[in-house]
Chains A and B, each alone.
Chain A
Amino acid sequence: MLRFLLIFDSSNKINQKMKVSRKQLTLIIITTLLAVILPYSLLAQTTVSGVVTQKNGTPILGANVYLDGTYDGASTDENGQFNFTTEETGVQTLVVSFVSFEPFYMAADVSQMENVAVILKEDVNSLDTVVISAGTFEAGDNSKVSVLKPLDVVTTASALGDFVGALQTLPGTTTVAEDGRLFVRGGDAGETQIFIDGIRVFTPYTPTTNNIPTRGRYSPFLFDGITFSTGGYSAEFGQALSSVLLLNTIDEPDQDKTDIGIMSVGATLGNTQKWEKSSVSFNGAYINLAPYIAAIPDRNDWEKPFEAFAGESVFRRKFEKGIFKFYAAFDATNFELTQEDINLEDGLRFKLNNKNLYTNASYSGDLGESWKVLAGGSFTHANNDLGIMDSEINDTENSAHFKLKFRKRFSNRFKLNFGAEQFLTDFTEDFQNPFVEAGYGFNNGISAAFAEADLIFSRKFAMKLGVRGEYSDLFGQFTVSPRASVAYKTGKSSQLSVAYGDFYQQPLNEILKFEQDLEAQMTRHYILNYQYSANNRIFRAEFYRKEYDQLVTFDTEFAGFESNYANNGDGYAQGVDIFWRDNNSIKSVDYWVSYSYLDSERKYRNFPIEATPSFANSHNLSVVGKYFVSDWKSQFGISYQYGSGRTYTDPNEPGFLQKQTRDFNSISFNWAYLISQQKILYFSVNNLLGFKNINGYQYADTPNVNGIFDRRALRPAADQFFFVGFFWTISEDGTDNQLDNL
């Protein structure tokens, strides 16, 4: 019988795929005849039946039940029951499958398959599974814990297209308007590390000077996933005391296209070429603030306004089982200005020339049997040529990072990640003024290994356990950091997570270049997170406590050769972060509100006592709203930033960091107008109402005739900033519509 069926099967295919000869036709007819007649005469039928339920006994309607590799099967009815007949005999595999449950397999003799009771296990990969969310914000498409969408980076009013700017509207960050970098939960900006495709970025920000905010170097359009962790992050990441920001480049661009941007501050040009397996994107930008400053002068006296050339390129190639990406970015920045200074009658002259090259190559692929590999490396070359008054400083950093990571999925419920990485930094600096000439620097190597297990006990309960070991060549120090997080689903849309972790980070280059006989600084994070998300609304509340230890201290006004350094500092930060986003309640309106309360004190650097640093203010609030008007093809965005006063030291009174500035307020507005499918006009203004914000005070070195130290308020270079841009995308399939409109 089996043989007949085999003949039948193969001839059947011939029938469909080619014209058949007469001989074959005969054969087909015979076999067809046999096949038609045989079942009724010779083949015995066996009934397969049973019931499919969930664990709690609820019957499952519409599950697919069948014998593997055959046509024989049925769908379950509303009672979860199924019933079908088969001509198969002997041992067969019964398969039961249903969306969001794990498929069920049972191998048995067909004759035994009557009244089978099948209990389907929930698929822990499905959407409503608990997600470990303590400390983490994700911006992505299909992730359940996403709080930002990729588009938000460019449509948030205060962000000006800078992804760091968009992240500053999330809770856990503090408003340090004159700096522009990320300050997370009482940590300073150096405590946050940025990674592209899992590989470290050593110099993520464009350098700038006092009171001029910096921007992230990288174009937001090259990334499709952003994960911002404000604490308790995975053992895969180290050398960050407070926070990590993970950026993933796009795997595959959609189409060939050219992007042109013309802005009030410069121009950008991008091009993407796509082939079957590979693609290349280029982005170039030229920024020059000269025309803007000529039109709207600010408080600085610019000799050479800010000018930057930047180019980025991503190459991607897909292989059968993996993808290779190569990312390279180069930028050159220069400016020269004189800033007001209370101790210098003619002001402080500052000149900067910066060149930065970053390359990053990574391969991620499938090794089969549920093994995955990620191998990658990055190289950074950064050169700064600074002129401060009559001092010339030239520093060069060459840094590299290599990483190899494996992931093994043993089952849906147990996954293991482990890997090793190496960081190398070579830093040199030359200092020269009329009195001194010096050259110095350091070589730094850090080796690390990590392992982390994901344990998913059920859709309701998951755990992540990890450990990271690091060895520093420079210090001869070995550190071990345990990490753990647990998440529990408290209801259909809500969950509770807790996280704990130890984090080590070496002192920054600005210290290491003078002193290498130190140890790593450390923090310990405790996090409790509650999240509710349903119907396009997300509510998160996160309580945390962070303990600092081994912070670097020194005993002079500025860090220098003559300073005595030690790891004697410590401190804490604690507070609560609240986030609410809703794009459901009001039609065409999407808004979010972030509030952070922070209580932090530390003794570090040259602090004489434990005090609240000026970047750690107590209350921060962001409200971001977006309103889409279809008829006007416009999106209007508004954002309000509030930060309570920041500490400063008033030398006229006893104490250290004992005073507070007044509160910070800013309302920003933007308008994006879609002229057509491919043309966008963008307008934005920061600090629309022109609040007179004060970032701090500078005091005179010596008292005046009345014995009082005079002071000068540190105001932003300009209270307001205007931006106009026109963005045009040219692509193959959109050109038609576009040209017809011109």
Chain B
Amino acid sequence: MKQLIIIALVVCSFSASAQTKYEKGMTKAFDLWKSEKQWEAANLFERIAQAEPDEWLPPFYVAQINILYSFNEKDEEKITAQLKKAQDFLNDAKAISKENAEILVAQAQLYTAWVVFDGAKYGMNYSPKIAQTYQEAYNIEPENPRVAFGKVEWDLGTARWFGQDTSKFCEDLAAAVALFETYEPKGQFYPQGGGDYAKQSLEQNCAEKE
């Protein structure tokens, strides 16, 4: 028995990379994403999603990639197909992990993508939904930086559109940016991005205050 443990320890130290299939797959998908092969990454996440029906992260990332790359999409057919796919995978993720603030943030971003695409057409319908979704996410996990930032950024954007004073949001925005520094992801491969963009947003929106 003792010997076995020693062997085991040796093995452990020799390969911290002795990853599970899931870890390997996820790591590879993130590598693809980082090297700007986001669609290949999305395909891999999709494969992992169908092989691991109990993990919410793979379908979440399939949705996340489709949402993120919809923001600059001008072709209605393409954006419709992407956001429909994203919604399908978000639904899968929701079914696996209930009351999940990260998924709700992605849902709010999905609605936002529609509003950005055609504000006149989708603004009236989706704006209250976006505010509501952030609120739900906030009720679940107020300390999550993506929740806090998404919510305040949406409120700020709305206030700016109505020509209202936006400076009152700066405090909340700064607090959200600070959360990115301290927030510990709840598990491996959990979302952790968004901090740089949040900082940028703070600098742009609250420059004179700094």
The answer to whether A and B interact is yes
By beta carbon, the residue of chain A nearest B187 is A16
Asked whether A198 is an interface residue with its Cβ less than 8 Å from the other chain, the reply is no
Extra A-B contacts (9), CB below 8 Å, given A71-B25, A151-B124 = A33-B7, A64-B43, A72-B47, A73-B47, A128-B77, A255-B131, A628-B120, A676-B164, A733-B132
Closest CB in chain B relative to A680 CB, distance in Å: 11
Given contacts A26-B8, A29-B8, contact A733 B135 (CB under 8 A): yes
Q: Which residues of B contact A100 (CB under 8 A)?
A: 77, 81
Q: Which residues of B contact A30 (CB under 8 A)?
A: 4, 8
Q: Which residues of A contact B4 (CB under 8 A)?
A: 26, 30
By beta carbon, the residue of chain B nearest A631 is B163
Segment at the interface with B among A156-164, A367-375, A434-442, A734-742: A734-742
Q: Is the interface of A mostly helix, strand, loop or mixed?
A: mixed
By beta carbon, the residue of chain B nearest A9 is B21
Q: Which residues of A contact B188 (CB under 8 A)?
A: 16
Asked whether A731 is an interface residue with its Cβ less than 8 Å from the other chain, the reply is yes
- Give residues of chain A (706-742) contacting chain B, Cβ–Cβ below 8 Å: 731-734, 736-737, 740-741
- Give residues of chain B (75-98) contacting chain A, Cβ–Cβ below 8 Å: 76-77, 80-82, 85
- Give residues of chain B (117-163) contacting chain A, Cβ–Cβ below 8 Å: 118, 120-122, 124-125, 128-129, 131-132, 134-135, 155, 158-159, 161-163
Q: Can you list the 5 inter-chain pairs with the closest CB atoms, starting with the nearest?
A: A29-B8, A64-B43, A254-B128, A733-B131, A255-B132
Asked whether B171 is an interface residue with its Cβ less than 8 Å from the other chain, the reply is no
B18, A36: Cβ atoms closer than 8 Å: yes
A150, B40: Cβ atoms closer than 8 Å: no
Segment at the interface with A among B48-56, B177-185, B192-200: B48-56
B43, A62: Cβ atoms closer than 8 Å: yes
By beta carbon, the residue of chain A nearest B85 is A99
Q: Report which of B22, B122, B161 forms a contact with A12, defined as CB distance below 8 A.
A: B22
Q: Which residues of B contact A736 (CB under 8 A)?
A: 155
Closest CB in chain B relative to A454 CB, distance in Å: 20
Q: Which residues of B contact A255 (CB under 8 A)?
A: 128, 131-132
Whole-angstrom CA separation of A72 from B48 in the bound complex: 9
Closest CB in chain A relative to B189 CB, distance in Å: 10
Closest CB in chain A relative to B147 CB, distance in Å: 13
Asked whether B102 is an interface residue with its Cβ less than 8 Å from the other chain, the reply is no
Q: Report which of A15, A26, A70, A151 forms a contact with B20, defined as CB distance below 8 A.
A: A15
- Give residues of chain A (559-604) contacting chain B, Cβ–Cβ below 8 Å: 583, 590
Chain B's interface size range is 35 or more
Asked whether B207 is an interface residue with its Cβ less than 8 Å from the other chain, the reply is no
Asked whether B12 is an interface residue with its Cβ less than 8 Å from the other chain, the reply is yes
Given contacts A141-B125, A149-B121, contact A69 B51 (CB under 8 A): yes
Interface residue total, chain A, C-beta cutoff 8 A:
57
Whole-angstrom CA separation of A29 from B121 in the bound complex: 56
By beta carbon, the residue of chain A nearest B9 is A29
A68, B50: Cβ atoms closer than 8 Å: yes
Q: Is the interface of B mostly helix, strand, loop or mixed?
A: helix
Whole-angstrom CA separation of A74 from B28 in the bound complex: 12
A-B contact count (CB 8 A): 114
Whole-angstrom CA separation of A734 from B51 in the bound complex: 42
By beta carbon, the residue of chain A nearest B8 is A29
Q: Which residues of B contact A74 (CB under 8 A)?
A: 43
B81, A127: Cβ atoms closer than 8 Å: yes
Asked whether A3 is an interface residue with its Cβ less than 8 Å from the other chain, the reply is no
- Give residues of chain B (26-83) contacting chain A, Cβ–Cβ below 8 Å: 39-40, 43-44, 46-48, 50-51, 54, 76-77, 80-82
Whole-angstrom CA separation of A95 from B76 in the bound complex: 27
B18, A26: Cβ atoms closer than 8 Å: no
Given contacts A99-B85, A737-B159, contact A29 B12 (CB under 8 A): yes
By beta carbon, the residue of chain A nearest B168 is A740
Q: Report which of B54, B121, B131, B187 forms a contact with A13, defined as CB distance below 8 A.
A: B54
B163, A633: Cβ atoms closer than 8 Å: yes
Given contacts A36-B15, A590-B120, A733-B135, contact A674 B162 (CB under 8 A): yes
Q: Which residues of A contact B44 (CB under 8 A)?
A: 73, 75
Q: Which residues of A contact B129 (CB under 8 A)?
A: 254
Whole-angstrom CA separation of A731 from B131 in the bound complex: 10
Binary interface encoding of chain A residues 21-34 relative to chain B, with 1 for a CB under 8 A from any of its CBs, else 0? 00001100110110
Asked whether A58 is an interface residue with its Cβ less than 8 Å from the other chain, the reply is no
A33, B11: Cβ atoms closer than 8 Å: yes
Whole-angstrom CA separation of A119 from B91 in the bound complex: 29
Asked whether A210 is an interface residue with its Cβ less than 8 Å from the other chain, the reply is no
